[in-house]
């Protein structure tokens, strides 16, 4: 059965775009793309039936986006990968992520 875990918008010690700020949609999309890239570099390519997405969510103040890892609950490798990501989140953007953020025009 397909399941998922919310990972966050950015690495845990980093600031993220806030709902209502100028260009929130664009900034949150860039954050999601780069964060997913960093997670794959950090944890390796996800196993079969496992993938990341920048999921749209509703909040009292509007729509926000957060990276989610989807996994197959009956696939041990998929479950292990997802929980490893959740339990070992990067604290900060890495060097490659900083380069990618700049390339994509990210300014918070």
Planar angle of CA 75, 47, 14, nearest 5 degrees: 110
Beta-bridge partners for 72 = 2
The confidence score (pLDDT) of residue 91 equals 97
pLDDT in the model for residue 108: 63
Question: Over the stretch 32-59, which tens digit does the pLDDT of each residue have?
Answer: 999 999 999 999 999 999 999 999 998 7
- Beta strands in the chain, from DSSP E residues, in sequence order: 2-8, 51-59, 62-72
Tell me which DSSP letter residue 22 carries: T
Q: Which residue has the higher pLDDT, 76 or 62?
A: 76
Q: What is the pLDDT of residue 24?
A: 92
62-69: average pLDDT: 92
Rounded Cα distance, 17 and 20, in Å: 9
Q: Supply the pLDDT for residue 59.
A: 76
Identify the pLDDT of residue 6: 97
Q: Give the torsion through C-alpha atoms of 33, 57, 106, 8, to 10 deg.
A: -70
Is residue 61 scored above 90 in pLDDT? Answer: no
């Amino acid at each position: 059965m397909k399941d998922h875990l919310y990972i966050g918008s950015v690495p845990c010690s980093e600031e993220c775009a806030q709902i209502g700020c100028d260009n929130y949609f664009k900034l949150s999309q860039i954050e999601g793309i780069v964060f997913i890239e960093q997670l794959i570099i950090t944890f390796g390519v996800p196993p079969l039936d496992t993938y990341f997405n920048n999921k749209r969510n509703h909040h009292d103040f509007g729509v926000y986006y957060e990276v989610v890892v989807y996994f197959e609950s009956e696939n041990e490798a998929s479950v292990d990968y997802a929980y490893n990501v959740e339990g070992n989140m990067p604290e900060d953007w890495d060097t490659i992520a900083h380069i990618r953020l700049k390339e994509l025009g990210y300014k918070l």
